[in-house]
Amino acid sequence: MKIAMGSDHAGHTLKVEVEKVLQEMDVEIEDYGCNCTESVDYPDYAQPVAERVAAGEVDKGILICGTGIGISISANKINGIRAAVCHDVFSAKASRAHNNSNILAMGERVVGPGLAGEIVKAWLETDFEGGRHADRVDKMMAMEEK
Ligand code: RB5
């Protein structure tokens, strides 16, 4: 499995922690930065990750900013992306099973590294259920501007 990672300055420290979890899981990582804690703009890091996911060049993406909000809204501007902000394990599993989320977003100012690691594991280990959920996801994706 290959995961594209990105964060702004407010998510950089948690990104490093999440990458350790991914390495323990033998997941291949493409890191699109940032690699600093000086102020940067989250759309600049959301875009390359979202484009890699949308192109099918990686399996999924993980994005982290202060809240997970700005970076997920940015990623969702790219056609094909279903980025979900999840700060608990239940939502992370549901975002995969029901919404087929392809990017997980989290906020370093919201969750600690321990919970973030559990969220990441649950998210990666949960498959999309399809069926009636697929009809809804199809309708959702049909709203994208072509
Ligand atoms: C940066 O201060 C912060 O606004 C950003 O990381 C994110 O939380 C925005 O949604």
**Structural domain boundaries in the chain:** 2-145
Question: Which pTM does this prediction carry?
Answer: 0.98
Q: How far apart are CA 118 and CA 88, in angstroms?
A: 9
Question: What does the alpha-carbon distance between residue 65 and residue 54 come to, in Å, rounded to a whole number?
Answer: 20
Q: Under CATH, which number does the domain 2-145 receive?
A: 3.40.1400.10
pLDDT in tens, 57-86: 999 999 999 999 999 999 999 999 999 999
Annotation says 34 is catalytic:
no
Nearest residue by C-alpha to atom 8 in ligand 1:
66
pLDDT tens digits, 107-122: 999 999 999 999 999 9
Nearest-CA residue for ligand 1 atom 10 is 70
Please give all residues whose beta carbon lies within 6 A of any atom in ligand 1, as ranges: 8, 10, 42, 65-67, 69-70
pLDDT digits (tens, 9 = 90+) for 22-36: 999 999 999 999 999
